[in-house]
Structure 1
Amino acid sequence: MKKILYIISVFTITGIFTSCNGLLEENPLGLATAESYYATPKGIEDGLKATYSPLRNFYGKEAGFFLTVTGTDMYTNGFGGATNNPDYNNYSQNFLGTSGYVKNIWDNFYVGINQANAVIGRAPQVEGISETERKRIIGEASFLRALYYFHLVQQFGDVHFTLEETQGVETEAKRTPVATVYEQGILPDLEFAIASLPATAAAYGQVTKPAAQSLMARVQLTIGNWSEAEKYAQAVISSNVYSLVANFGDLWEIDKELNPEVIWSVQYTDDPLTNSTGNQGHLFFIFDYTLNPALTRDVEYGRAYQRFMPTNYTLNLFDLTKDSRFDGSFQTTWIANTPAVINGAAVAPGDTAIKIVIHPVPDAEQKKVPYWLIDYNNKWVASVTDPLEIGGSNRRQFPSLKKYLDPLRTSVNAVDGRRDFIVLRLAELYLIASEAAFRQGKLAQAAEYINVVRTRAALPGKSAEMQVTEADLSLDFIMDERGRELAGEMHRWYDLKRSGAFLDRLRKYNLDAAVNVKEMHLVRPIPQAQIDRVTNPSDFLQNPGY
C-alpha cells in the first residue's frame, strides 16, 4: 500500500567544536534552514507532508473521540470513561480550560495551521516545479488549513486567526469572530483547493479535488448554506469516481480499507518507525470481555479501555429485522479461547462465550445456556447493576463498536493500530445532500438521496422495506439516519450542534450529561495555558461560563 509518510522537518546545525588557547571555534559541517530547504522542490514537498502530521493527534486518538463521540445522544461513559475522564461526557464543573484534551487539539491544530501557512507562503518562490505542481502543493495545504480551522471554530467558537506564518516568538493573540474565519479563511481556502487539486491522487492519502468538494459540502451544511451544500455533495456523487461498498460491514474489514467508498482518510501504517502511537480507536469502544472465564485477551478482540458505551438511544435506533448496520457496526458475540465452566457447563475454545441480544431474556433462560447471555431491558445503561444486562457490572457490558478493531496489531497489548482513519466517505455525502435538500423543501429529492444509503444498508430481501417517502422525513429522522450510518465516526457532537438539537437530545438521551449540560457547552473552554501565555489577556478571554 502506498502511504504518505508524514515528516516533520527539523532544521539543525551540526558542528565540530575545538578548543585553542581558551577560544571556542565553530566549524559547521552542514547548515539547513527553513529559508534554504523550503526553497527547494523536495523541501516544500516535505513541508507539505509535515502539514498532514497533526491530523494524527486527533483522528483515531482519545482526545478526538472524547470531544466528538461522547457527551452526545449516542455515547456516554463506559467504565473506563467514567473512571478516567468523566467530565467530557458529563459536562461537569470540572470540565475546565485545564482539561488536557482541549489543549491537545488546540496546540496540534495550530501547529498544523502554521505549517500550512509556511507552505502556502513559501511555495510561490520555489523554483524547479511546474505551476500545476505549485498549485497542487498550495491546494493541499489550503485544504488542511481549512480543516484545522473548521475543527477549531466548531469546538471553541471565536479563535485566533492568521493566514501568515509565525516565525519567532509572538505573545499576542486575539479572538476573531467565527464568521470571519469562515469568510476569510475556510471558504476561500476550500475554493482554492477545489480549483487547484487533481481529481485523483498521485499517492494514496493525498488530498484531492473530490475531498475538497466533500469538506466544502460539510462546511456549507454547517453554516446553513443549504443549496451550496447540496451542490458540492452532488458534484462528488455525480463524478462517478466513488461508489458505496455493497456490504456495509465490509467497510470495516481491515484488509478492505482501500475501497471505492473512501474519499479521503488519515494514513496510518504497519511500520513502527513511522506509525508512532498509531490509530488507537481499537482501544476505546470495547468492553472487558476477559471478565468472562472462557476468554483471555487476544489480538483479534482487542485491548479494552472501555471508554465509550452506547446509550439506549443508540441501542434502540436500528430495526434489526431489515437494517444490516447494527450487526455491521457492533460486535455482540465472542468465541471462547480458553477452557472454562459457565453455568455449570464445560466451554471449550471455539464455543460461544458471550452473546449480547437487544431484547429482554428471562433470567431462567440466561442461567441455562453455556455462555454469558447478556440481554437488554431498556433501563438507562449507566444505572444497570445486573452483570448479565447491557450496562451491567458498572458500565462494563455493552456491544462493542467494530469499526476500529485492529486484528493486525503486533501483540495483545499493542496500542499502535495501523488502520487508516476514514475522514470522508461517499455515504456521508448522500446524507449531506439529503439534509440540504430537505432544508430547502425539496422533499422528494431528500428521500431519493437517503434511500441510496438505506438500500445499501438493507438486509437481503429487505430493500423495499428500507425505502422512505417524503412523508417519513423530518430533521429528527435525518439525524437518526446519520446515527445509524456514522456511529462512532467522530461526527456526532458536530451534528448535534449544527442541528440545533444539542441540548434537547442530550437531556433526553444521555442522562449522565442531562443534569449539567447548558447552552455554554456548545463551545469548549479555551485552554488555560493559551490564556496564561498571551501578553494581552484582555483581548483573549475565556468562553462564558468556564
Structure 2
Amino acid sequence: MKNTCIIIGLAFTLGLGACEEILVEDPVSLATAEGYYVTPGGIEDGLKASYTTLRSFYGQQNGFFLTVTGTDIFTNGFGGIANNPHINNYSPNFLGTSGTVTAIWNALYVGVNQCNTVVNRVQDVTGISSQRRAEIEAEARFLRGLYYFHLVQQWGDVHFSLDETQGVETEANRTPVNTIYQTGILPDLEFAVANLPVVASEPGRAYKAAAEGLLARVQLTIGNWAEAERLAANVINNYNFELVKPYADLWDINNEDNSEFVWTVQFTDDPLLNGPGNSGHLYFIFDYTFNPAMVRDTENGRPFQRFLPTNYLFSLYDREKDARWNGSFKTVWYANISAEINGHPVNPGDTAIHIVMEPVPDEVKQAAPYWIIDYKGNWIGDVDGYQEIGTNRRRNYPSLLKFLDPLRPSINETAGRRDFPVIRLAEMYLIAGEAAWRQNKNDVAANYINVLRTRAAIDGMEADMQVAPGDIDLDFILEERARELIGEKHRWYDLKRTGTLLERVRQHNLDAAPNIKEMHLVRPIPQTQIDRASNPAEFQQNPGY
C-alpha cells in the first residue's frame, strides 16, 4: 500500500467526504461512482482510498497530541507549549474550536464514508470472484471498525452511519457508544477476521492477524476479557510472528519489515506517493543545536520538542536491567562540528552531550569536555538548575528515538518515510496478560508478561527481570505498557479504558493536574460540526465544553 489512489473528495455536512469522483487518465471526463465503483478496477481503487485516512492520524502531530499528551507519561515540551498546550493541560481553552480535534474528526469521518462506499457498492461489482468480493468488503470493514474505534474513544457518543453519504446531509445523530460497538465495530471486525486472507496481498493491507489483533484490543477495551485473551493468544501462537531482540533493533529504520510488526501504516521515500509523510520524527526530540558543537543534521533530527517525558516515566525503568531504556531513548549526542565546550576543544565524533539519570555536581558538569545534563528528580516542567533535565525552557531531555528518520532527503524535511506500527506482537502479550489477570489467572498473566520482560532484559539479567503472579496488578500492567509501548498512541486510551486517567494525570502530570475533570474523558466535538447540524437539539456539544 505504498501507492494510494488520488481522490477528489466532496466535502459534506458531517465531514463525510464521499468519493464521488476519481482522478483518471482521461482529463476530459471523470467517472461517476455509479459507473466506476461497479467495475473491478474501480472498487479496488475505492478500497485503496479507504486506507488514505490512516495517514491523517498515524504519524501525524494531531494524532500524537490526542493520544500521547495529557497523560501520566508525557506533558508539553517547549514546542508543545507553543503549539496546542491546552490539550495536555485540559485548560479552558480546550474547546470545539481546536484545529486538532476538528482535523482528526473530519479525517476519520472521511475514512468512514469511504469505507461505507466500498461496503455498500462491492456487492454490485461484476467480474470478480465471490472470494475477492468478500475480501474487499472485509478490508473496508476492518478499516471502518478502526476509524469508529478512534471516534468513540475520543468523543464518546458520535454520529453513526453504515451507509454511504451521497449528497448534502445536515441532520446528525448522537448514537450511544455501546450501540456503535455492538452494531458497528464488533460486527465489522468479526467479519474481517472471518473473511480476510491469512497473508496480506501487499504490505500494509489488512489481513487476518491484523483483524484479530485489533479485535483483541477492542474486546479488552469493552471488558470481554476471555475473548480478548483468546484473540491475542491466537495471534501469538498461530502465526509466524516473533519478538525482535534486542529491543533497539525494532526501531532500526532498515528493519521495518521485521517479525514483530503485525500491521503498519505505510509510508515511502517517494515524495509523490508519501502524502504528509510520517512526521513522528519531529516531536519527541530536544533541541541539541543549542550545544556549540552541534548543528542540525538528518541523523539527530529536526527538533520540534512537542512532547516532554514526565518524571514518572523516568521512574519506570530499571536501567541496570531493562534494555528498553536505551532501546527507546537517545541520551548521547556526538559533535558534528568543531567547537569549544567548557574550555575544551571538541571535534566531530567527540561526545557533545551526555544525559545522565542521576545528580551530578555543577562543578563536575562545568569541567567536563561535553555537556552533562543530569536528573535531580525536580519536576521537569519547573527546573531552573544548570544543565538539568527540563532546563532551557523544557528543551533538554532524553529523546524518544522510535520515530527518528535519518533517511530523510534533507535536514528540514518533515515528511518521513518510516512506517508506523499500529499493531505489534508485544501488544498481544500485554493484552493476553491483562485479560488473564482480569480473569484471576495471575499465573497465566505472569507467563505472558515474562516473555516480554525476557526479551527486554539486558543480556545476563533475564532472571532478574522476571515477575511473579503476585506482582501482577493494574498498576504493574499500566507500567509495563508504558515501558513497552511508549509513544505508540496507546497511552491516553489505556488510562481512559482502565478508569485511571484522572487519578494518574493528577498524580504525575503537574501541568494538567489542576484542570483535568470528568468531562475530559471525551473530547470537545468540533464547533464546525455543531454549527452545521440542522437538529441542534439532538446534536449537542459534549458536557462541559
Q: TM-score range by the shorter chain?
A: over 0.9
Shift of 1:29: 4.9
Name the amino acid aligned to 2:117.
A
Alignment of 1:39-50 (within 5 A): 39-50=38-49
Alignment of 1:8-19 (within 5 A): 8=7
Contact 2:247 2:323 in 1 (8 A): yes
Shift of 1:241: 2.0
Aligned with 1:500: secondary structure?
Answer: coil
Aligned with 2:29: secondary structure?
Answer: strand
Say if 2:252 is the partner of 1:253. yes
Shift of 1:301: 0.5
Deviations 1:459-499 (A, max 9, x none): 00000001101111110000000000001110000000011
Question: Which residue of 1 is the match for residue 271 of structure 2?
Answer: 272
Question: Which residue of 2 is the match for residue 104 of structure 1?
Answer: 103
Say if 2:484 is the partner of 1:485. yes
Deviations 1:197-242 (A, max 9, x none): 0111111110011000000000000001111110110111111321
**The structure with more radius of gyration:** 1
Shift of 1:535: 0.6
Contact 1:438 1:446 in 2 (8 A): yes
Name the amino acid aligned to 2:350.
D
Between the aligned partners of 1:4 and 1:472, the Cα distance in structure 2 is: 47
Question: Which residue of 1 is the match for residue 88 of structure 2?
Answer: 89
Question: Which residue of 1 is the match for residue 304 of structure 2?
Answer: 305
Aligned with 1:530: secondary structure?
Answer: helix
Alignment of 1:373-388 (within 5 A): 373-388=372-387
Contact 1:356 1:374 in 2 (8 A): yes
Contact 1:359 1:375 in 2 (8 A): yes
- Which residues of structure 2 form unaligned runs of 5+? 10-19
Question: Which residue of 1 is the match for residue 499 of structure 2?
Answer: 500
Aligned with 1:353: secondary structure?
Answer: strand
Contact 1:387 1:393 in 2 (8 A): no
Shift of 1:152: 0.3
Alignment of 1:127-276 (within 5 A): 127-276=126-275
Deviations 1:139-166 (A, max 9, x none): 0000000000000000000000000000
Between the aligned partners of 1:253 and 1:131, the Cα distance in structure 2 is: 40
Question: Which residue of 2 is the match for residue 113 of structure 1?
Answer: 112
Question: Which residue of 2 is the match for residue 77 of structure 1?
Answer: 76
Q: State how many pairs are aligned.
A: 532
Question: Which residue of 1 is the match for residue 59 of structure 2?
Answer: 60
Between the aligned partners of 1:277 and 1:221, the Cα distance in structure 2 is: 32
Shift of 1:276: 2.2
Question: Which residue of 1 is the match for residue 438 of structure 2?
Answer: 439
Aligned with 1:53: secondary structure?
Answer: coil
Question: Which residue of 2 is the match for residue 333 of structure 1?
Answer: 332
Shift of 1:3: 2.9
Name the amino acid aligned to 1:75.
F
Name the amino acid aligned to 1:197.
L
Contact 1:4 1:204 in 2 (8 A): no
Shift of 1:508: 0.6
- Which residues of structure 1 form unaligned runs of 5+? 15-27
Question: Which residue of 1 is the match for residue 370 of structure 2?
Answer: 371
Aligned with 1:165: secondary structure?
Answer: coil
Aligned with 1:275: secondary structure?
Answer: coil
Alignment of 1:462-481 (within 5 A): 462-481=461-480
Between the aligned partners of 1:383 and 1:277, the Cα distance in structure 2 is: 34
Deviations 1:41-67 (A, max 9, x none): 111000000000011011000000000
Contact 1:9 1:46 in 2 (8 A): no
Between the aligned partners of 2:21 and 2:45, the Cα distance in structure 1 is: 16
Contact 1:13 1:30 in 2 (8 A): no
Between the aligned partners of 1:6 and 1:249, the Cα distance in structure 2 is: 34
Question: Which residue of 2 is the match for residue 406 of structure 1?
Answer: 405
Name the amino acid aligned to 1:391.
G
Deviates more, 1:104-113 or 1:382-391: 382-391
Between the aligned partners of 2:144 and 2:393, the Cα distance in structure 1 is: 42
Name the amino acid aligned to 2:220.
L
Between the aligned partners of 1:501 and 1:531, the Cα distance in structure 2 is: 29
Contact 1:333 1:354 in 2 (8 A): yes
Name the amino acid aligned to 2:531.
D
Q: CA 1:496 to 1:29, structure 2 compared with 1: closer, same or farther past 3 Å?
A: closer
Say if 2:513 is the partner of 1:544. no
Between the aligned partners of 1:166 and 1:12, the Cα distance in structure 2 is: 13
Q: CA 1:403 to 1:102, structure 2 compared with 1: closer, same or farther past 3 Å?
A: same
Contact 2:69 2:87 in 1 (8 A): yes
Name the amino acid aligned to 1:97.
G
How does the TM-score come out when normalised to structure 1? 0.96
Between the aligned partners of 1:4 and 1:436, the Cα distance in structure 2 is: 37
How does the TM-score come out when normalised to structure 2? 0.96
Shift of 1:367: 1.2
Aligned with 2:52: secondary structure?
Answer: helix
